[in-house]
Structure formats: structure tokens, C-alpha cells
């Protein structure tokens, strides 16, 4: 799975990570999308939970799940009306994604990292702040980073992702080995 932010450039809210959920966030931080698969009946749990909703077993194994899917619905969030941590991130595309194995996962759809760029921290990684396009690992787009966004007349970035659009899971490096799930257009993953 591609990473879309060099460490330290993630700008969303910090995940609440506790011992029982930690493997999910650490897995993402290492580029793996893993969820709990029930040791008894095989049901994959979403959301993360201490118990299987199907058979009530408490036992599970963190297991890789499908990383490709199609858009169920995508919207452009234009204004941060709640947590103001998002005020410098809007507009962004938020989506529900129907994964190939039947799960439906939430996440932002972000511009893809350039496939030619190496892992964060290596020579090719972007440094500094602000949007990076075309070269280097993409950081998160900031305000005004989309062209033609005059107030009230902005094009709709989510319009590029109608229902059925194929996407691939990716992750944002939130630091401390923690990753946050997001998606990129499939053709660029």
C-alpha cells in the first residue's frame, strides 16, 4: 500500500489507539491493511471490536484484507464545521468504499503518490510543507491547492469519483508508527 505523507505531515485528528486496536493502526503504519478475522467462524470484524458480531467468539487473528474496492459514495467536504483541525485541510473528498471482499470502509480519497518515489525518509521524498504535485510523495492538499476554486464556484473534486470508481487503499503516516487509512484512484496506485 502506498504512503501519501512523509512522517509529520499528517494533518487530520490523531486516532485513538489503545492496546486492543493498536494492531490496526500499526499495520497501516507499515503499509498493511489488517482486520480481526474470527478464529471460530471466520467473520472479519469491522469496526474493530473485542467480540465477533456473528458468533460472539472473543478470539481473532489480525489478517490482511482486500485493498482494492469501488466507491459507494464520495462527497467533497468543503467546510470544517466541527473539529477545526480540518479547517486547513478542506476541501477534501470523503468516501465510503465497497472493498473487494465485501467490507465497506470509510476514508478520504487523495491524490496518489508518484509511483517513482521511494519510501518516506528516502532521498526522493518530499520535504517541507504545502501541496506537492507531479514529483515526490504527495502531501495532503491544503487550502487553495485545487485550481479554479473561486468562492462559491469551485469545481466538485468528488465528481471525479462517481459510484463504482475503482480505488486502492493507501495510508497517511500519522507518526509514531501509526497509519491512517485513505484511498487513491486505482489506476495510479
Partner 1 sequence: MKLRDTEVCVVGVGTSEEFGFDLGKSPHRLQAEAFLAALADSGLEKADVDGFATAHGSPTGVDYEEFTSTMGLDCRYIDQAWAHGRWATGVTVHAAFAIMAGMADVVAIANTGVTARGYGRHLRNLGGHSTVEGLRDVGGGHGEWAVHGVDTPGSATSLVAQRYMDRYGASSADLARVGMGFRRNAAQNPMAILRDKPLTPESYEQEPVLSGPFRRCDYALHNEGSTCLILASADRARDLAKKPVTIAGAQSIRANRDNYVMFSRPGLGVGFGGDYPFTPEPAPVYDMAGVTRDDVDALYVYDSFGSNLWMILERFGFCGEGEAPEWVEKNGLEVGAPLPVNTNGGLMAEGHFAGYAHLVEMTRQLRGECGPRQVTGAEVAQWATPWGDSLILTAS
By CB under 8 A, name the binding residues for partner 1: 12-16, 21, 46-49, 53, 72-84, 86, 92, 94-96, 98, 104-108, 152, 158, 162-163, 180-182
Comparison of 119 and 154: residue with beta carbon closer to partner 1: 154
Residue 84, SS3? Answer: helix
Of 138 and 182, nearer to partner 1 (C-beta) is 182
CA distance 164 to 141: 24
What are the residues whose beta carbons fall under 8 Å from the beta carbon of 189, sequence distance 6 or more?
2, 112, 167, 168, 170
Nearer to partner 1, 47 or 135 (CB): 47
User: What distance in Å separates the CA atoms of residue 179 and residue 33, rounded to the nearest whole number?
Assistant: 10
Closest approach, Cβ 120 to partner 1, in A, equals: 19
CB of 119 to partner 1, least distance (A): 23
Residue nearer to partner 1 on the CB measure, 25 or 113: 25
Round to whole Å and give the CA distance between 99 and 72.
Answer: 9
Residue with cell 489503545: 18
Amino acid at each position: 500500500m502506498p504512503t501519501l505523507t512523509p512522517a509529520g505531515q499528517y494533518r487530520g485528528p490523531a486516532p485513538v489507539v489503545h492496546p486492543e486496536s493498536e494492531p490496526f493502526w500499526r499495520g497501516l503504519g507499515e503499509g498493511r491493511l489488517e482486520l480481526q478475522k474470527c478464529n471460530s467462524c471466520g467473520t472479519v470484524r469491522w469496526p474493530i471490536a473485542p467480540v465477533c458480531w456473528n458468533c460472539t467468539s472473543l478470539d481473532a487473528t489480525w489478517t490482511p484484507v482486500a485493498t482494492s474496492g469501488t466507491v459507494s459514495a464520495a462527497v467533497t467536504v468543503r467546510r470544517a464545521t466541527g473539529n477545526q483541525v480540518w479547517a486547513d485541510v478542506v476541501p477534501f473528498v470523503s468516501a465510503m468504499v465497497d472493498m473487494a471482499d465485501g467490507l465497506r470502509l470509510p476514508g478520504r480519497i487523495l491524490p496518489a503518490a508518484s509511483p517513482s518515489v521511494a519510501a518516506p525518509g528516502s532521498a526522493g521524498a518530499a520535504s517541507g510543507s504545502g501541496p506537492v504535485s507531479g514529483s515526490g510523495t504527495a502531501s495532503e492538499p491544503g487550502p487553495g491547492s485545487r485550481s479554479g476554486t473561486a468562492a462559491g464556484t469551485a469545481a466538485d473534486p468528488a465528481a471525479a469519483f462517481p459510484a463504482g470508481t475503482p480505488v486502492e487503499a493507501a495510508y497517511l503516516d500519522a507518526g509514531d508508527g501509526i497509519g491512517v487509512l485513505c484511498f487513491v484512484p486505482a489506476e495510479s496506485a
